[in-house]
Amino acid sequence: MAKKKSTLYRNWGYLLLAGAVVLLFARDIGPLAVSGAFALCFLWLLLAAPTWCGAKNRSEGYCRNNTSGLLGGCRQVRQHKWQRFRGLVRLEPFRTVCRGWFTGAPQQIATCALVVSAIGVVAGLFK
């Protein structure tokens, strides 16, 4: 029971995203509230969503340590912490960066949700 509760707690951003989508189609909600909700999801996904590290290991493969947020790497390997962020800044080959973002199911869900929330912010403004 306690485990179920903590899973829900760790994934509240997805619930918020679902709520924001409902708000988008609700008539009496202002555009700022809708965009704000999507923006909050966006930040949550980047900084706090439960995902895998996804940094490239020096050997083959990608790091599978748990981490929070799409932008951060795991804390076990210090080098991983900013690897993905640096990848974006240095414009490493698109495929290398992308593979890190799609390491496994949690990453794929989070990345898709990130795209949805980005679209939601814009869609909310034109609501």
Q: Which residues bind Zn ion (CB under 5 A)?
A: 53, 55, 63, 65, 73-74, 77, 80
Provide the sign of the torsion angle of the four alpha carbons 26, 31, 32, 36, taken in this order: positive
Residue 42 C-beta: closest distance to Zn ion, Å: 23
Between 10 and 75, name the residue whose CB sits nearer to Zn ion: 75
Residue 33 half-sphere exposure toward CB, CA atoms < 13 A: 11
CB-nearer residue toward Zn ion: 61 or 93? 61
Nearer to Zn ion, 11 or 65 (CB): 65
Strand blocks (E) in 35-106: 50-52, 66-68
Cα gap 46→98, rounded to integer Å? 15
Q: How far is the CB of 7 from Zn ion (least distance, A)?
A: 22
CB of 71 to Zn ion, least distance (A): 13
Tokens of 39: 């923006």
- Asked if residues 22 and 83 have their Cβ atoms less than 8 Å apart, the reply is no
Nearest distance, CB of residue 98 and Zn ion, angstroms: 17
Q: Which is nearer to Zn ion, 73 or 120 (CB)?
A: 73
